[in-house]
């Protein structure tokens, strides 16, 4: 596959790399190496997992420091929950999409066809790797500025806190159902399809005898979360 122009990507992000190969590495998925052992001229490639490991630690420190200062009266349990909401796969994938990371990812042909959660995970991992690359290239302050501009200024943390969006959908739906209806929701398996190694589960969520919504996933837990998300929409909660 043609190699994207990483210098252009660097300019788009507003980060001037001293070593542009760090950004290239940050966008290189392990699967790409299986199909492309080297570039022209025999230059070896490295995948982004080491940078992702580093970026994850930098991201956690920056977000933790930010939350510690923003919420001086909150205890560590709340701060941990808020941090999880800010740095989860969904949030980081949103950041990646806004930056157009998908146009610069180096993946195998098979991985490039993946959509949905699989692609979201790759996108989120790439953001952590890019943070790691910025840290290696320019240090803490530059990586903290990148996180602030692309995550903290984009995601509405006050809304997350006020609406308790840091809770997962199932927990939020249970809390609202108990508050509004005085009942705890129940979940029922409606259907299972596919072979054992790749089953698809469809579950319904009920308040009393009333079915509110259904959700589908590769595990019962995922299907429950999807059902709860839809139930929150149905109820306007």
49 and 82 co-located in one domain:
yes
139 and 173 co-located in one domain:
no
Q: CATH number of the domain at 215, please.
A: 3.30.160.20
| SS3 state at 32 | helix
- Using CB atoms within 10 A of its CB, is residue 99 exposed (0-12), middle (13-18) or buried (19+)? buried
61 and 105 co-located in one domain:
yes
Q: Of the residues 162, 182, 208, which one is the last residue of a structural domain?
A: 162
Confidence of residue 58 (pLDDT cuts 50, 70, 90): very high
29 and 130 co-located in one domain:
yes
140 and 76 co-located in one domain:
yes
User: By the 8 A CB rule, do 157 and 71 touch?
Assistant: no
What are the tens digits of pLDDT across the range 77-119? 889 888 988 888 888 998 999 999 999 999 887 766 665 667 8
Alpha carbon of 5 to those of 41, 135, 180: distances in Å? 18, 21, 53
Q: What is the pLDDT of residue 40?
A: 45
Q: Of the residues 112, 132, 162, which one is the last residue of a structural domain?
A: 162
**Which of 122-126, 193-197, 233-237 is predicted most confidently?**
122-126
Calpha distance 98→90 (Å, rounded): 12
Domain count for the chain, please give it. 2
Q: CATH number of the domain at 23, please.
A: 1.10.1520.10
128 is catalytic: yes
Q: Which of 46, 56, 60, 168 is catalytic?
A: 56
1 is a domain residue: no
What are the tens digits of pLDDT across the range 154-185? 788 888 787 676 667 888 889 889 989 999 99
Q: What residues make up the domain containing 223?
A: 169-235
174 and 155 co-located in one domain:
no
159 is catalytic: no
127 and 220 co-located in one domain:
no
Calpha distance 143→132 (Å, rounded): 8
Q: How many CB atoms lie within 10 A of CB 23?
A: 23
Q: Of the residues 146, 162, 178, which one is the last residue of a structural domain?
A: 162
**Least confident span in 30-44, 49-63, 103-117, 150-164:** 30-44
190 and 208 co-located in one domain:
yes
82 is a domain residue: yes
102 and 41 co-located in one domain:
yes
Q: Which of 125, 128, 137, 229 is catalytic?
A: 128
177 and 153 co-located in one domain:
no
């Amino acid at each position: 596959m043609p190699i994207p122009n990483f210098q252009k990507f660097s300019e788009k992000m507003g980060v001037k790399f001293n070593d542009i190969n760090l950004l290239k590495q940050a966008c290189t998925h392990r699967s790409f190496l299986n199909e492309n052992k080297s570039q022209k001229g025999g230059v070896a490639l490295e995948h982004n997992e080491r940078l992702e490991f580093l970026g994850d630690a930098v991201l956690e420190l920056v977000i933790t420091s930010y939350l510690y200062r923003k919420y001086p009266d909150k205890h560590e349990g709340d701060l941990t929950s808020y941090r999880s909401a800010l740095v989860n796969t969904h949030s980081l994938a949103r950041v990646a999409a806004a930056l157009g990371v998908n146009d610069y990812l180096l993946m195998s042909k098979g991985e490039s066809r993946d959509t949905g959660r699989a692609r979201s995970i790759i996108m989120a991992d790439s953001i952590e790797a890019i943070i790691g690359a910025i840290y290696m290239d320019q240090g803490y302050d530059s990586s903290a500025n990148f996180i602030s501009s692309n995550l903290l200024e984009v995601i509405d943390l006050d809304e997350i806190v006020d609406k308790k969006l840091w809770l997962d959908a199932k927990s939020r739906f249970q809390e609202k159902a108990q508050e509004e209806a005085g009942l705890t929701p129940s979940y029922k398996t409606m259907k299972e399809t596919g072979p054992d190694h790749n089953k698809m589960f469809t579950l319904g969520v009920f308040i009393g005898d009333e079915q509110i919504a259904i959700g589908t996933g590769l595990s019962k837990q995922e299907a429950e979360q999807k059902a709860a998300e839809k139930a929150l929409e149905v109820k306007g909660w």
